[in-house]
Structure 1
Amino acid sequence: MTIVPAHQRSAALAPFVVTLSAYELGPGSVGVHRGLPSSTVSITIPEADSLEIAWLGRPGSGRFRAVVAGLHLDTAELRQEGGTRGVWLKLSPQGAGALLGVPASALSGQVADLADVAPAMAHLPEQLAACRSWPQRRALVEGALIAGRTRHWESTGGQELRGILAALSGTARVQEAARLLGCSRRRLSGTVRAELGVTPKEYQRLLRFEAARGALVAAARAGTVSLAAVAAASGFADQAHFTREWRAMAACTPTEWLRAEGLIA
């Protein structure tokens, strides 16, 4: 077995892995987490028991040993019993194809078991459970991702998608993004739908929501939460617009979310 140095692993995964971290949902035996709308593909691997996931506002729920969630504009509730720790990853949209072998569009708006999406990673939960430290767990996950990159990544296509996403994130208007890319709005929309499973406008909506979430957290930690200031900084017309959008996507108000996360009293 070839051992890849940590700095080389990180460099190889940098374009595709946004976050790779340990998580803990609380000190008890049952943990609950609200999974907010996301512009990335996430993988959640509990350390012990499985996860139960239900979309808020949708009927039904599912149980997964390890779960992959695509880009989604709705909120889900994750419930973990028998232990509340695990490993959490966020992949860029192009990372889904490069590391898992499926386009982000195949996962859009849904959750699936990691074993079904990437059969080569089916034993990753059990392998992680046998690790005794976070460095071991991180190295194991990075190794699995690099193996996936070796199997799936093709140099063509990835750079084009990165350019498209950069253009969409750099302007609030889809037509302007198309102009910057030198293509028609129709062609841009077709490419984004095929790659991500959402429209360009929906992708920008997710980016704006995530910007607001980051601004909310930063303001709460600084002790100066101003919804009007967050709305203005995140590209909303005003505070009322921001609150309506947050409620529609997160199934609660910004203040309710901050309180539930323990960020404000």
Structure 2
Amino acid sequence: MSAALAPFVVGLAAYDLGPGLAGVHRGLPSATVSITIPEQDPLEIAWAGRPGSRRRLRAAVAGLHLEAAELRQPGCTRGVWLTLSPVGAGALLGLPAAALAGDVAELADVVPAMADLPERLAACRSWPERRALVERRLLAGLARHGARADPSRTRATLAALSGTARVQEAADRLGCSRRHLSGAVRAELGVTPKEYQRLVRFETARGRLVAAARAGRADLAAVAAASGFADQAHFTREWRAMAGCTPTEWLRAEGPGRRG
């Protein structure tokens, strides 16, 4: 990864949804902006609990969201998955993460400069070629938008929110009122400070859950305690509310070793 991109890119990887039912994947709530580009067949995406929300997209870009989505990729189930930090949306895509919050859209509509990226990626013969192509496009975006982006304040805000479970304490650390903090976070991310903290805690728990499963000791009580939940029952309730299933059900369907 280019050093210039490192502050803005959380992950860039090839994916394979695996041999399950038509390549179905549960897109969990996230505190990042994600771009999903199938290798061949378009994606079919629907929000859990939203009848009639299914859409067919050649490449999808999604903002921060607090509910799960169902991604279905019939045929070829491979592709490229890119995740950006909230400040990365402005620096690389030229728009605030708030413009994408709680939604998923066609990449070409949101970032016209990337309209031909799916076809260009499909023409690549190897993962190193695909990775290099994505990095070049991101660097081009940084050259166009990076000079206008000043991520220092947003980074400080997110660090303060991530470092405490109390919004007022985060505001005190930043030297501003809770009302000012709320307005700034909504304008930048499209979620409230408390919702952002909820997303961070969920992602932290998910990372610990995956690590524990890989080590062969998926102790839900231990994951819950380490991630700031009152107890295992609280953790399970929150996971079900945000993911639409229990942690155990998610591990069984999509945990380590379940996808290619």
- Which residue matches 1:109? 102
Q: Which residue of 2 aligns with 1:195?
A: 188
Q: Which amino acid aligns with 1:18?
A: V
For residues 216 and 10 of structure 2, the distance between their equivalents in structure 1, rounded to whole angstroms, comes to 27
Shift of 1:174: 0.9
Gaps of 5+ in 1: 1-8
Number of corresponding residues: 257
Distance 1:29 1:35, change over 3 A: closer
Q: Does 1:32 align with 2:13?
A: no
User: What SS class does the counterpart of residue 43 from structure 1 fall into?
Assistant: strand
Aligned counterparts of 1:46 and 1:224: Cα–Cα separation in 2: 33
**1:3 counterpart residue number:** none
> Is contact 2:91–2:149 with CA below 8 Å preserved after alignment?
no
Structure 1 residue 157 displacement after superposition: 2.8
Counterpart among 208, 222, 230 of residue 223 in structure 2: 230
Shift of the 133–264 alpha-carbon distance from structure 1 to 2, 3 Å rule, reads closer
Cα distance, 1:212–1:87 mapped onto 2, change above 3 Å:
same
Q: Tell me how far 1:221 sits from its aligned partner.
A: 1.1
Q: 1:28 to 1:211 in 2, by over 3 A?
A: closer
C-alpha separation between the residues in 1 aligned to 2:132 and 2:257?
Answer: 35
Contact 1:228–1:239 under 8 Å retained in 2: yes
User: Using the alignment, how far apart are the partners of 2:179 and 2:254 within structure 1?
Assistant: 40
Q: Which residue of 2 aligns with 1:10?
A: 2
Q: 1:204 to 1:28 in 2, by over 3 A?
A: closer
Q: Alignment partner of 1:88: what SS? A: strand
Question: What runs of 5+ residues in structure 2 fail to find an aligned partner?
Answer: none
Q: Residue 74 of structure 1 corresponds to which residue in structure 2? A: 67
What TM-score, normalized to structure 2? 0.95
* Structure-2 residue corresponding to 1:19: 11
Aligned residues of 2:225 and 2:231 also touching (Cα < 8 A): yes
1:28 Cα deviation from its structure 2 partner: 7.2
3-state DSSP class of the match of 1:39? coil
Greater relative contact order structure (CA < 8 Å, 6+ sep): 2
- Cα distance, 1:30 vs. partner? 2.9
Equivalent of 1:47, from 39, 46, 61?
39
Supply the distance in 2 between the matched residues of 1:63 and 1:182 (Cα, whole angstroms). Answer: 45
Alpha-carbon spacing, 1:28–1:251, altered in 2? closer, same or farther (3 Å): closer
Residue 35 of structure 2 aligns to which amino acid in structure 1? I
